Amino acid sequence: MTNQHITPHPDGGWQVKAAGASRATVRTDTQQQAYEIGRQIAINQGSELFVHNMQGQIRQRNSYGKDPFPPRG
């Protein structure tokens, strides 16, 4: 279960990158394309998806793992 991150790619476009990985899983032209691919990977792995903005800050976070229910406080 490796968290996935959608970040700007240094050479342009966007990338889906697993936490701790040195290379991107996939590189796309748009953030939306990267989001769709990263979301499917996170769903398949039961992990979290972090979407970063152009400055690298996390702007959205989705969990597709085993969340506690009811949610903690």
Number of domain units in the chain = 1
Contact (CB, 8 A) for 13 and 31: no
Collapse the DSSP code of 2 into the 3-class scheme (helix H, G, I; strand E, B; otherwise coil) and give the result: coil
In a domain, 41, yes or no: yes
Q: Could you tell me if residue 35 is inside a domain?
A: yes
Q: pTM of the full predicted structure?
A: 0.87
pLDDT in tens, 9-58: 999 999 999 999 999 999 999 999 999 999 999 999 999 999 999 999 99
Domain that holds residue 41: 4-18+28-63
The type of residue at 68 is: P
pLDDT at 65 over 90: no
Residue 68 lies in a domain: no
